[in-house]
């Protein structure tokens, strides 16, 4: 069975530094969501909210009809929560999180659900994150294949990379044993807004529907 640990990093800092950075990422992610969701094409005639998918709706409705419903902001919260549970690729599946692991006095993190472009910005901005992914279904990839071809390396460099790759396997096998879920082995931090902040986002979305 293959091991695939993607979007994984070692954090070179303290737990206090990490939580402060995660709070900043949460705030930045909110702005990303607000910009994205208030600029959707709600006028597209093919976008109908189906009662079959959302049983709490009175009937199938388009977005203008939905906006006119009583308590449409809370209904939109329900739609977002439903899409998060379904887990499919959908504009309102805003689920995103990070799992933090503590192993041998070091901190490791694994991101889930962040847009790829935004995650790249995060990693470049917060340099405490250092790549620490691992997978055994392809050739080892703890170096840049283009900038540092394997055949041009010295034996010492090859051995260094092989040992480092093996160490990654050992660490991840210790952190997440027996192919168990990340959430069963670390601490989860949600980036998606909840409660009041989610309601504010929903009202911003509704205000954008013309």
What is the number of helices (H) and of strands (E) in the chain? 6, 7
The model's pLDDT over 186-196, given as tens digits with 9 standing for 90+, comes to: 999 999 999 99
Residues 6+ apart with CB under 8 A from 31: none
Nearest to 197 by CA among 23, 9, 11, 47: 23
> Smallest Cα–Cα separation from 31: which of 193, 195, 196?
193
Residues 83-101 have pLDDT tens digits of 999 999 999 999 999 999 9
Neighbouring C-beta atoms of residue 184, cutoff 10 Å: 9
pTM of the shown model:
0.88
How many whole angstroms separate alpha carbon 141 and alpha carbon 133?
Answer: 9
């Amino acid at each position: 069975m293959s091991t695939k640990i993607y979007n994984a990093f070692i954090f070179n800092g303290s737990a206090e530094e990490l939580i402060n950075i995660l709070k900043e990422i949460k705030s930045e992610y909110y702005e990303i969501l607000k910009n994205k969701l208030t600029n959707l094409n709600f006028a597209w005639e093919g976008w109908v909210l189906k009662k079959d998918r959302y049983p709490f709706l009175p009937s199938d409705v388009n977005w203008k009809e939905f906006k006119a419903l009583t308590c449409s902001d809370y209904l939109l919260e329900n739609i977002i929560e439903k899409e998060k549970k379904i887990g499919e690729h959908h504009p309102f599946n805003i689920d995103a999180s990070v799992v933090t692991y503590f192993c041998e006095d070091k901190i490791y993190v694994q991101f889930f659900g962040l847009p790829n472009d935004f995650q790249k910005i995060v990693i470049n901005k917060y340099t405490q994150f250092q790549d620490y992914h691992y997978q055994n279904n392809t050739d080892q990839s703890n170096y840049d294949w283009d900038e540092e071809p394997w055949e041009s390396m010295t034996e010492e460099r090859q051995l260094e990379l092989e040992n480092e790759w093996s160490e990654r396997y050992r660490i991840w096998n210790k952190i997440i044993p027996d192919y168990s879920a990340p959430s069963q082995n670390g601490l989860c931090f949600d980036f998606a807004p909840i409660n009041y902040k989610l309601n504010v986002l929903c009202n911003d979305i509704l205000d954008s529907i013309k």
